[in-house]
Amino acid sequence: MAVIAIAGNPNAGKTSLFNHLTGTTQSVGNYPGVTVECKEGIARYDGRRIRVVDLPGTYSLTAYSQEELVARNFIIENGSDLVVDVVDASNLERNLYLAIQIMEMGAPLVLALNMVDVAKRRGFNLDHEKLSELLGIPVVPTVGNRGTGVKELLRQCVEAIDGQVPVLPRPVTYGHEVDDVVDTLAETLEAVPELGARYGPRWIAVKLLEEDAEVEKLVRELAGEEAESILEAARQAIYAIERHCGDACSTVIAERRYGYAAGIMQECMTLTGEARQLATDRIDTVVCNRFLGPVILVAVVAALFFAVFRISTEWAWIPWLDGWYSPVEWVEWQFEQLRAATDGLEPGAPMLHSLLSDALIAGVGGVLSFVPLIFTMFFFISALEDSGYIARVAFILDRVLQTFGLQGKSILAMIVSGGLGAGGCAVPGVMATRTLREEKDRLITMLVAPFMNCGAKLPVYAMLIAAFFPQHRARMMLLLWAFSWVVALCAAWVLRKFVIRGEQTPFVMELPPYHMPILRSLFLHTWERTWVYIKKAGTIILAINVLLWALMYFPRFPETAQPEVSLQTAEAPAATEAERAAQALAHSFAGRFGRTLEPVTQYAGFDWRTNIALVGGFMAKEVIVGTLGTVLAMGDVSPGQAESLSGRLAQDPAWDSLKAFALMVFVMVYAPCFVCIAVIRRESGSWAWAVFSTVYSTAIAFVLAVLIYQGGSLLGLGGL
């Protein structure tokens, strides 16, 4: 089966074209670097099947970042029959810089001239036939988000693969002084078939002139005895060019490439009308303003939380039987009915009843009842992503981040982890750190990204806020959002200062033009993310809940036994039913474990029941909601009285708003879930960092929770 590789700058529209070519859907993020792994799909043309690979987006093909290496190796190792380079027509010069490097590699190439709609709006008139003639390869104009031109692109690709049209690009020229040197070096390389024939002598020559470490390694490995003389010839050539041009050789080559790109631009582009100030530029003077930018950012996030809570939990707009419900209330109501329906089982099969009602319905239902909230949150975040605002957020926060020892590019990892609002995931966040060139920047980002509010923490907050701060939902979330950034930035500062010292690397943030999000793709994208949440609740969360339920149910507390400990909830001497239920829970494996931790955790305001939930949360943060649900449900003595989880929490005498706040902060900061820990271990390459991440996060979380609880108690905020 023929293989097509899609290369291009980040945000050029690779993924959009890939989706249209293959008919699959996948995330379309509007910030550079979200696609760190190659995605694959199958395109069909005239009954033929063609494999399509979406390479990571890069600006260049040096060996500095992992993405560049992935993309480059894929192309040179002949992983594909044809490369499709997606170039952003509205930003042609910069995009051609990459195209030229692919041309240097001598791979069969077709250019997808994408975003021609944007280019047109900006007043750029592009002659794609002229461009095709200049480069010697097919050029197809496309509009990636709408799929325009995709059929033609595929047709040209198939013809190219079949050898019907010429697709080998013309050799790139760097000006005669450099060209001469490249030619001489290439001749030497041609004598070594393992190198020359396989990788293209000119490409190797240029890379040697750029002092590319990977290629030097390759030469050492493959050229055998010839290796040293080739490298020596390269050193001589570099010296000659540097003396001639008075600048570092790699700089000279980069400049010549830009010159080549600028030349091509001049040839095939005309500007229509006067150079107008673009709408994007006009918006950006306000949105990216040094002072207004941060204010607008906070306002946007506040509006996001306000809208999300209004629509999903506060505003009762669903008519159902006897009245009006908000979406979250409506789902909760369904699960309460379901729970009440199992009450008939209690006398006959108490264990089955407890499993169904306490573990499955109260536990998993608790997590699922937040689906409407998650959906609305994801919807608005997707809209912000697709509009292009996220790149501006990165731009605005860049300076702040640098002050705290983080790289501007780290922001992307933070945003993927949930840094914009709440709802994201630290697992792809940690993986997104691959776009950072410096190992130290990567490590620091990896260690602080899990502090962001991921989609799993959201239901925990939502539940506690509903129970204790129902009047201040959006404000509370805004506070937690700001808090997560403060913790992450301070932690980054300390890590940079004391643990992972080193210089920060500078980074230029590009600002892609604003796009109007397309409703259909917004819904698709939102649904994909929500479905992941639902699936997780129905599988792994369910399994953990059942396990924890068993630990809370066994061993059974003997009916006749006297209470072995005196509990807060069981002070009355007469053994009431409530007391018995609490005793049974305290007697279970999980109860004993929770009580063992209580002497320590009490300083943070967590009793033994909260401890059970927090230990469960190590596996996945959603479990906290489920386990608290199960804990409360097992101690519940008024069966049949339908009551939501937050309602039960609010009425529990052992809880108050100060404890709830300390708990939310603890949940925000403490150890990443185990999937995330495994990813940190994989990405950092050592267990030591994974363990460090777990321990230091939990330590910070505990200190913060103690400070909040003890400080709040001193101020008289307890018991409210």
* DSSP code, position 229: H
Q: Distance between CA atoms of 613 and 660, rounded to whole angstroms?
A: 13
Shortest CB 115 distance to ligand GDP, Å: 4
Cβ proximity to ligand GDP, 187 vs 281, nearer residue: 281
Nearest-approach distance from CB 376 to ligand GDP, in angstroms: 20
Characterize the bridge pairing of strands 82-88 and 39-45. unpaired
* CA pseudo-torsion sign 554, 559, 560, 561: positive
Residue 450 site contact among ligand GDP, Mg ion, none (CB < 5 to 8 Å, cut-off depends on kind): none
| Residue 8 sits in the site that holds ligand GDP (CB under 6 A) | yes
Site for ligand GDP (CB under 6 A): which residue of 2, 5, 13, 252? 13
Residue of 191, 224, 230 whose CA lies nearest to 207:
230
Q: Is 56 in the site for ligand GDP (CB under 6 A)?
A: no
- Pick the closest to residue 627 from 460, 424, 455, 454 (CA basis): 460
As a whole number of angstroms, the distance between CA 176 and CA 183 comes to 10
The only residue of 21, 56, 57, 76 in contact with ligand GDP, by rule CB under 6 A:
57
Binding range to ligand GDP, per CB under 6 A, among 26-34, 157-165, 393-401, 656-664: 26-34
Q: How many residues bind Mg ion (CB under 5 A)?
A: 2
Residues binding ligand GDP: number (CB under 6 A):
22
Residue from 2, 28, 113, 624 binding ligand GDP (CB under 6 A): 28
The token duo for 379 is 């919807």
Distance from CA of residue 372 to its chain's centroid? 21
Sort 300 into a burial class: Cβ within 10 Å, 0-12 / 13-18 / 19+: middle
Q: From the list 22, 35, 80, 95, which residue makes contact with Mg ion (rule: CB under 5 A)?
A: 35
DSSP line for 347-411:
TT-HHHHHIIIIIIIIIIHHHHTTHHHHHHHHHHHHHHHHHTHHHHHHHHHHHHHHHTT--TTHH
Which residues ranging from 99 to 118 are in contact with ligand GDP (CB under 6 A)? 114-115, 117-118
CB of 454 to ligand GDP, least distance (A): 22
Which 372-411 positions form the footprint of ligand GDP (CB under 6 A)? Answer: 386
Q: Considering the rule CB under 6 A, would residue 14 count as an interface residue with ligand GDP?
A: yes
Min dist CB 392 to ligand GDP, Å, is: 14
Minimum CB distance to ligand GDP, residue 114 (Å): 5
Can you tell me which of 29, 201, 405, 594 binds ligand GDP, judged by CB under 6 A?
29
Closest alpha carbon to 664 in 603, 612, 713, 708 = 708
Give the CB-nearest residue to ligand GDP: 144
Residue closer to ligand GDP, measured from CB, 526 or 545: 526
Residue in this structure with the two tokens 């185990």, named with its chain if needed: 674
15 near Mg ion (CB under 5 A): yes
CB 146 to ligand GDP: min, Å: 7
- Is 251 in contact with 238 (CB distance < 8 Å)? no
Looking at 3-11, 156-164, 428-436, 671-679, which segment touches ligand GDP (CB under 6 A)?
3-11
Question: Which one of ligand GDP, Mg ion, none is in contact with 405 (Cβ closer than 5 to 8 A by kind)?
Answer: none
Contact 44, 173 (CB under 8 A): no
Strands (DSSP E) found in 27-69: 39-45, 48-54
H or E segment and range at residue 69: helix 66-76
Contact 662, 712 (CB under 8 A): yes
Instruction: Tell me which of Mg ion, ligand GDP, none is bound by residue 372, counting a contact when its beta carbon lies within the kind-specific cut-off of 5 to 8 angstroms.
Output: none
Q: How far is the CB of 361 from ligand GDP (least distance, A)?
A: 40
By CB under 5 A, residue 382 contacts Mg ion: no
- Shortest spacing between CB 138 and Mg ion, in angstroms: 22
Give, as ranges, the residues between 505 and 534 that touch ligand GDP (CB under 6 A): 515
Q: Which is nearer to Mg ion, 71 or 680 (CB)?
A: 71
Whether 336 and 600 have beta carbons less than 8 Å apart is answered as: no
The answer to whether residue 144 forms part of the interface with ligand GDP (CB under 6 A) is yes
Of 16 and 530, which has the nearer Cβ to ligand GDP?
16
- 144's contact among Mg ion, ligand GDP, none, with CB below 5 to 8 A by partner kind, is ligand GDP
Residues of this chain, 416-445, that bind ligand GDP according to CB under 6 A = none
Which of left, alpha, beta for 566 (phi over 0: left; psi -120 to 50: alpha)? beta
Helix (H) or strand (E) holding 124: strand 124-126
Task: Assess 9 for contact with Mg ion (CB under 5 A).
Answer: no
Among 2, 5, 15, 104, binds ligand GDP (CB under 6 A): 15
Torsion sign (Cα): 134, 138, 143, 145: negative
Residue 515: name its binding partner from ligand GDP, Mg ion, none (Cβ under 5 to 8 Å by kind): ligand GDP
Taking alpha carbons only, the member of 146, 562, 145 closest to residue 388 is: 145
Taking the C-alpha atoms of residue 434 and residue 279, their distance in angstroms, rounded to an integer, is 33
Secondary structure percentages of the chain, helix, strand, coil, to 5? 65, 5, 30
User: Within 615-634, which residues bind ligand GDP (CB under 6 A)?
Assistant: none
Tell me if 11 contacts ligand GDP by CB under 6 A.
yes
Nearer to ligand GDP, 14 or 595 (CB): 14
Minimum distance, C-beta of residue 14 to Mg ion, in the bound complex (Å): 5
Q: Measured on CA atoms in the order 425, 428, 431, 434, is the torsion positive or negative?
A: negative
Closest CA to 453 of 467, 465, 442: 465
Stretch that binds Mg ion, among 12-20, 59-67, 96-104, 401-409 (CB under 5 A): 12-20
Q: Which stretch binds ligand GDP (CB under 6 A): 4-12, 309-317, 320-328, 365-373?
A: 4-12
Distance, CA of 663 to chain centre: 25
CB of 14 to ligand GDP, least distance (A): 3
Residue 114 interaction partner, one of ligand GDP, Mg ion, none, beta carbon < 5-8 Å per kind: ligand GDP
Give CB contacts under 8 A, 24+ apart, made by 66-70: 66/36, 66/434, 66/435, 67/33, 67/36, 67/434, 67/435, 69/214, 70/38
- Using CB under 6 A, pick the residue from 4, 12, 105, 253 that binds ligand GDP: 12
Where along the sequence are the contacts to Mg ion (CB under 5 A)?
15, 35
Q: Which chain residues interact with ligand GDP by CB under 6 A? A: 8, 10-16, 28-30, 35, 57, 114-115, 117-118, 143-145, 386, 515
